[in-house]
Amino acid sequence: MADDGVLDDTDLDLVAALQHAPRAPFDVLARVLDSSARTIGRRYSRMLDDGLLRVICEVDWSLLAEGPPAHVWIGAEPGRARAVAKALARRDDTTHVALASGRGEVYAVVHGMTRAATARALLDEIPAVSGIRSVRAESALRRLTSSAAWRLRRLTNEQEEALASHAGAAAEEPGTELGPLEREVAAVLRDDARTPYSDVARVLDISESRARRVATAMFGSGLLRPRVEIEPGKLGYRIEAVLGISCPPPATARLGAAIAAHPTTRFLALTAASSTFVYDGVFRGEDDLADFVSGGFPGSDDVTAVECTLQLEVLKRYWRAPAS
């Protein structure tokens, strides 16, 4: 990696490998990437120390809160957008905040611990923030895919197959056994999905075998989804857009599957709004986004309307401020 923080091919290959197997040991990653465990460990530590990368656990909504999150577009008074965005980023219930253009000057995702807390934030607290002139909120109904499934496409089929046994298989529907221990394990692994089971056991004062058994079950059920958190711009994706995509009700399942499988898609959910879906995707440039919104993917014939929001600057991503 260059001194200016630009990722080179070795770094990008490592990011791609970690996306497939976030908890794979360095010696496994090194073997797949035809490198040494020392080199891989050094590259990973440097990206981590420089704040370029985190390997986190995406936690299922049922472990985080009572209800699903709300996607919010905020109209700001002239010259107040940045102040509004900073105020929202300081809130404990915002998972994502960005300065934007399109539906609003600020885009945020709000996820209160209870349905009442989310409603209170949307109806009372956020509209009262100085500088806000309008709030448009859309509640998610069902998550169809997330950043945990998004991949930087650099590996060969052989490399992906070699990592498959270390990737862990998540069920499509999460399990329902959510006891206190599961929540404690999630809290330990949430900020560092590569935490060894021995460390989980030490923090929670349980045996390593029990820590391994509980965490493995949560990985398998989809309650915990280890993933790489890195700014898309560091990977060459200069454009990040949030789209409201509409279709006729009979086409919902078909179009949802097509969009979820598209290589640009980082997040997709059904929404309780005029749009059928809320979508977050990344593109290498404006032309690629233009191709997508103009029907440049299989299944796009079902689309009846698209509303586009460009994220100009992300202030908070998955509960934290991103690396500069």
pLDDT score at 60: 81
Residue with tokens 């709000």: 110
Question: What does the pLDDT look like over 19-36, one tens digit per residue?
Answer: 999 999 999 999 999 999
Of all helices (H) and strands (E), which one includes residue 144?
A: strand 132-145
pLDDT score at 200: 97
Distance (Å, whole) CA 48 – CA 92: 24
Stretch 211-238: mean pLDDT: 91
Distance (Å, whole) CA 312 – CA 81: 12
Q: Are 30 and 160 in contact (CB under 8 A)?
A: no
For the purposes of burial, counting CB atoms within 10 Å of the CB of 248, is it exposed (0-12), middle (13-18) or buried (19 or more)?
exposed
Of all helices (H) and strands (E), which one includes residue 245?
A: strand 239-246
Stretch 252-278: mean pLDDT: 96
Distance (Å, whole) CA 58 – CA 227: 7
Report the interhelical angle of 180-189 vs 208-221 (nearest 10°).
90
Q: Are 284 and 238 in contact (CB under 8 A)?
A: yes
Q: Which of helix, strand or coil describes residue 165?
A: helix
Nearest residue to 18 (alpha-carbon basis) of 235, 167, 121, 203: 167
pLDDT score at 170: 53
241: which strand partners?
281, 310
pLDDT score at 318: 87
Give this prediction's pTM.
0.88
The residue type at 251? A
Tell me the CATH architecture of domain 232-315.
2-Layer Sandwich (3.30)
Residue 4 CA, chain-centre distance (Å), reads 25
Question: What does the pLDDT look like over 293-306, one tens digit per residue?
Answer: 998 888 899 999 99
Q: Which of helix, strand or coil describes residue 84?
A: helix
Residue with tokens 């499509």: 172
